[in-house]
Amino acid sequence: MNSPGVDPRAPCIIGVGQHTWRPESAEFAAPEPLAMWEDVARAAAADTGESTVLSMLDSVQIVYCQSWQYDDPVGRLSARIGAAPRHRLYSGIGGTTPQVLVNKTAEAMLVGEFDLALITGAEALDTLRRAKKRGERLAWSFKDPEKKPFPFEAPFHPAEVAHEVFQAWLTFAVFDVARRAHLGTEPQAHRERLGRLLTPMTEIAAANPHAWFPTARSAEELITPTASNRMVGYPYTKYMVSVMDVDMAAALIVATHQRADELGIPTDRRVYLRSWAYAEDPHYVAERDEMWRSPAMARTSSAVLEGGGVTIDDVGHLDLYSCFASSVLFARDVLGISDDDARSMTVTGGLPFAGGAGSDYVTHSIAAMTDRLRTDPGSFGLVSGVGMHMTKHVYALYSSTPGPVAPPDDAIARDVSAAPRQPIVDTYAGEAKVAAYSVAHGRDGEAQWGLAVCDLPAGGRAYAKILDPGLLTDAEGRELVGSAVDLVPGEGNANLVRRLLGNRRAQIGEPFGAARKAASPQP
């Protein structure tokens, strides 16, 4: 098979596989991750139409698995599928990981390092959770004898530890509130918009045979707190947050154009990676100069579209990383996608509905995008990934037809990382101004505490906890961003919001003492 004018090293996906093991009973157990990897690897091989493709692999790569740590994950899988790859990789963590693996594979292929690769990942976190609930220990194989630390990529900031800035459902909610305030949207109207944003995603999930929750829901169902849909991190209810406790696996087989020709893969079964880019925003939430947007997301998305020679209007299919609504909204902002755009924001249904299998969701989104592009000849698809606390960002452009390949410009990541950052002040007492916030709720649905990120009069930022029940109610009833507050020391080096200073918001650029002078006396 000869394809004149196509770079023989151009990377393309030639096979995909997905499998979801939904619990059939309380005692149901999915296979262990090693068996799940094998299952989807063989499914991806069958999808190529070439029965011996696994034995020809030059590279086997596995996305980090939270469910179980094997002594030699890549070696164990390679033995199971009859592969002898010269390149082996077990990844780190983060929602960008699968696309980054595809990117690095493409770069290696372009310089001739290898021609055929398998990328796979799996989680059996739902099975693991239910086993722990029953008090059972799962007898999975080849346990790593060395207990290795979880591969966090940045040390915990002391101020974030003191203020419990750990959970993504809290930090992504903080970003959501920052964006809402920047746009001047009234809180209830914004929650209604979130419902309208996510409802079409539930409909995609309902039609996805691999979705963990294949259930269509109305906007009202999504945003209304109930006993089964409690508020988690304001403004997000349980239905609106990414679900990680799933039993899901996916695999991709990537080949050079020339290798695909040699294997006899039909051209209408190939999906080509045309351009890609990666960059990072600051690791710590309060460091963001503007918490309502992502400079890294803006630079990577624009670079990918430019590299592919297209505009966002030319892209027929999207899968914007959707762990929480804020990641989708940030992406829509930088891409210039309006509320009335008819395109779906996902080809899977998104992480809250299709399922976010640890660091492996994007393997599923690439597999689903491959299937979608195969049915729409001549079309483009855009896939994004977001890692950690809206820190890591990756974009990639796929096409159902070959064309010029545009590797990323390394200057993008360097430029973004050099952007100004707000210094974090660990402990602070005195007047401050709320820059963003959220409220954490317990399993009973009641508000437990709030997190505020505050601008300080001399510059820099401080975290603060909100514990007063009246302030927590106020935080969910009206806009607190821009309000002047009084911070006092709390336990464990945490700052506390003691009170609001007056009944009005401090204006941008207003001297910090003005709100205090205008405040009515409070006990």
Residues of the chain with CATH 2.40.50.840: 430-518
In angstroms, rounded to a whole number, what is the distance separating the alpha carbons of residues 324 and 332? 13
**Mutual angle of helices 295-308 and 325-335, in 10-degree steps:** 50
* CATH for 430-518 (2.30.110.10, 1.20.1600.10, 3.40.50.720, 2.40.50.840): 2.40.50.840
Write down the pLDDT at residue 2: 52
CB 495 within 8 A of CB 464: yes
Per-residue pLDDT tens digits for 70-95 = 999 999 999 999 999 999 999 999 99
Alpha helices in 342-384 (DSSP H): 361-374
Average pLDDT value for residue range 472-478: 94
Residue spans in the chain of domains classed CATH 3.40.47.10? 11-134+243-417
pTM for the predicted model, two decimal places? 0.94
DSSP state of 308: H
- Mean pLDDT (whole number) for 285-299: 97
| Per-residue pLDDT at 509 exceeds 70 | no
Burial profile 48-76: b = 16 or more Cβ within 10 angstroms, e = fewer? bebeebbebbbbbbbbbbbbbbbeebbbb
323: pLDDT strictly greater than 80? yes
CATH 3.40.47.10 fits domain 11-134+243-417 = yes
d(CA 37, CA 80): 10
Could you give the 3-state DSSP secondary structure of residue 112? coil
Q: Which of 60-64, 177-181, 409-413 has the lowest mean pLDDT?
A: 409-413
Q: What pLDDT score was predicted for residue 503? A: 53
Q: How far apart are CA 321 and CA 350, in angstroms?
A: 7
pLDDT tens digit string along 143-167? 999 999 988 888 999 999 999 999 9
pLDDT, mean over the chain: 94
In this structure, the chain runs to a length of 523
Question: Is residue 253 within 8 Å of residue 365, measured between CB atoms?
Answer: no
Predicted local confidence at residue 325, as pLDDT: 98
Read off the amino acid at residue 100: V
Task: State residue 515's pLDDT score.
Answer: 40
Confidence (pLDDT) at 413: 85
Residue 522 pLDDT exceeds 60: no
CA 32 → CA 97, 140, 450, distances in Å? Answer: 21, 6, 38
pLDDT, residue 26, reads 74
Tokens of 28: 């149901």
In this prediction, residue 230 carries a pLDDT of 98
Distance between CA 407 and CA 308 in Å, rounded?
A: 10
How far is the C-alpha of 341 from the C-alpha of 332, rounded, in Å?
Answer: 10
Quote the CA–CA distance of 32 and 39 in Å, as a whole number.
11
Q: Is the distance from CB of 460 to CB of 284 less than 8 angstroms? A: no
350 C-beta neighbours (distance < 10 Å), count? 32
